[in-house]
Structure 1
Amino acid sequence: MKADVVRAEGAPGPTLVLAGDRLPQGALALGEELRNVRRWLDRTGRGHIRKIALYGASSSSAFDLEYRFVQSLPRGFDFRTGCGHSLLACVAAAGRAGPVRVRALTTGDAVVCEPEPQGTRTVRFTGPWAARRLLPTGCPVDRIGGFDVSLVRFGNPYVFVDASAFGVRTAEELFGAGVELLLPLLRVRAAAARLLGLAPRSALPKIAAIGADGSGRPFVRSVAVDGWHPSLALTGAACLTAAVAVPGTVPHRLADGSALTILTPGGAVRTTAVAKAGVLGSVAVHGKRAHILERSVRLPWRIRVTA
């Protein structure tokens, strides 16, 4: 079995990308096989790879590719999360120029990866969605762990909390914060997970602290599986942009507009949204790029038929 190692700019690490036509149906869910691969990654100096993605031709004429994502966790694997950077990695590994229509099997999202003149891509989530249906509790703001937060489900469920609630007023303060902010955010995230019926130590929901400068430009810092995210997840940028379109949410209070330049510790992320009369038509994250680090890496994967 062979795979590619692909790194999308802005991601906390690379993705191990496997072509689905080389595996029997359901093979990615084999826990023991995945543990074998993880042990092999550790042995070969690739232990920093904690994302696995499987792609193949879509069975639907509405899409070109379909992909499934697995997040490697310290105690196992999470099959429920989405990862926009890993989706982009699959498109790069497939060698598709685009536009490439992708169905994300894990989350049900329909995504189009569109080439840009400068060699980057726009990753566009296509709807439509009723804006209020993006709120899993039905409320734009919930009180969790002593803080007003917004729970928004778009790509991945996110918890957005105003950074000023922690005494953080500027992007510099937010990006320079350490465990004194990380630990309270993790506690809020765990409480939000329980509210949503998820395990407190699972990969979901994600959480991010958000603020805005004097011109209304948002700045944000999010938490990844292993700590602070170096930039912002692609799904996080999309979810934040969607949340801005929902009146009453924390992001909507802090930022406004259909085009955003989101400041993150890893640089600025440009996004746009199409929304009208309470309906969100699409959300796009612009200027994304992925690099193939290794081609056709041989894996210790035993091919066998599964249920």
Structure 2
Amino acid sequence: MRRVIADVVRAEGAPGPTLVLDRDRLPPGMLASRSDLAAVRAWLERSGRGHIRKLGLYGTSADPAYDLDYRFVQCLPGGFDFRTGCGHSLLACVAARGLTGPVRVRAVTTGDTVVCEPEPGGTYTVRLERPGPLAALLPTGRPLDLLCGLRVTLVRFGNPYVLVNAADLGLRSGRELFTADDAVLARLREVRAAAAAALGHRPDGAVPKVAALAVDRAGALAVRAVTVPAWHPSLALTGALCVTAAAAVPGTLPELLTRAGGGAPGASGRRPMRLLTPGGAVATSAATAGSWLRDVSVHGKRARVVERGVPLPWRIHVTA
């Protein structure tokens, strides 16, 4: 008999750590059922780890074009969401595996290709590769939509997001956005629920995500997002990807606000951006060619193993 073990890994900027499990060390089909996941959730609560709300399952990919396959499960108050993605948890899996050199990951949950490339100093560039026309990023086909009386941009790149102009909420700067009260949070949740209905998602699910944007210093956008169930302490990696991708599309809120702040949206080539969040600045870039998007990257990301080899409440048979 052998203990089932997991690692607890925290990616910098995430609201909490991820419980990371190596599929190659598990029996086939383990953790594929809600009952298995509920047992893990109960064990997390019993063991003082109830703050862990993200589960990452990774293993060697059957496709030789990839190094790893990755699945993500978001724990919700009433169950689990299997349709969302999490870039921070994907990076946590890469850090747990300890591979050197660029790691090419197939995100099975969302169908995305993500490359985690080590940088000097122990950080990573996380690049989402989804070549296609910029117009395909807009699920309604429009750069601006009206929800709850507000102009918003609906964008899908990794996860779907609904982006709101903070000025329409009465917030005129990044400082005002970052100190906004619960009334603003409730308003954003209302917008998120309306976006979920418009995009065909469950109103109590984890997607679409919602974030408010404000013009800050020249060339930078202030971004504050909502996670499950409160303000995000920084910005989801998928949120940084979505805002950066949307800023390359003419007429979207990120593009309009970036232009108003003195940035240079819409140029072909590798276009850098700087996003200001409550947890610090995030460096991103998008590679475009005319009306075509090649990829979007988030730079300078870190992840560290908090606990290694944590035994879960199962044992499995080992055969020679």
Which category describes the TM-score, using the shorter chain as reference length?
over 0.9
- Give the counterpart of 1:142 among 141, 145, 167: 145
Aligned to 2:120: 117
Give the 3-state SS of the residue equivalent to 1:227 in structure 2: coil
User: Which residue identity does 1:140 align to in structure 2?
Assistant: P
Indicate whether 1:270 and 2:283 are aligned: yes
* Aligned partner of residue 80 in structure 2, secondary structure: strand
What is the RMSD of the two structures over their aligned residues, measured on CA atoms?
1.2
Q: From 283, 288, 294, give the equivalent of 1:281.
A: 294
- TM-score by structure 2 length? 0.93
Q: Which amino acid aligns with 2:12?
A: E
Kindly indicate whether the alpha-carbon contact (under 8 Å) linking 2:159 and 2:238 is maintained by their aligned counterparts in 1: yes
Q: Which amino acid aligns with 1:296?
A: G
For structure 1, the 5+ residue unaligned runs are none
- Contact 1:36–1:301 (8 Å) recurs in 2: no
Count of matched residue pairs: 304
Deviation at 1:28, TM superposition (A): 2.7
Give the Cα separation in 2 of the matches to 1:123 and 1:214.
Answer: 25
**CA–CA separation in structure 1 for the residues paired with 2:169 and 2:198:** 22
Question: Could you tell me how far 1:29 is from its partner in structure 2?
Answer: 2.8
Residue aligning to 1:158:
161
Letter in 2 for 1:91: V
Deviates more, 1:183-192 or 1:254-263: 254-263
Superposed, which structure 2 residues align to 1:176-187 within 5 Å?
Answer: 176-187=179-190
Is the 2:192–2:208 Cα contact (8 Å) retained in structure 1? yes
SS of 1:199's partner is: coil
Which has the higher mean CA deviation after the structures are superposed, 227-236 or 58-67? 58-67
Match of 1:51 in 2: 54
Correspondences of 1:96-135 after superposition (within 5 Å)? 96-135=99-138
Match of 2:202 in 1: 199
Deviation per CA, 1:28-50: give whole Å up to 9, x if none.
Answer: 33111111111111111100000
Q: Which shifted more, 261-270 or 28-37?
A: 28-37
**Unpaired segments ≥5 residues, structure 2:** 259-263, 266-270
Contact 1:151 1:158 in 2 (8 A): yes
Shift of 1:119: 1.2
Equivalent residue for 1:65?
68
TM-score normalised to structure 1 length? 0.96
Map of 1:251 onto structure 2: 254
Q: In structure 1, what is the Cα distance between the partners aligned to 2:316 and 2:167? A: 52
Judge conservation of contact 2:219–2:274 (CA < 8 Å) in 1: no
Q: 1:138 offset after TM fit, Å?
A: 1.0
Supply the distance in 2 between the matched residues of 1:93 and 1:6 (Cα, whole angstroms).
Answer: 7
Using the alignment, how far apart are the partners of 1:150 and 1:302 within structure 2? 48
Moved more, 169-178 or 24-33: 24-33
Aligned to 1:18: 21
Please state whether the residue corresponding to 1:35 is helix, strand or coil: helix
Distance across 1 between alignment mates of 2:246 and 2:146? 17
SS in 1 for 2:313: coil
* CA offset digits 1:197-224 (Å, max 9, x no partner): 1111110000000011251410000000
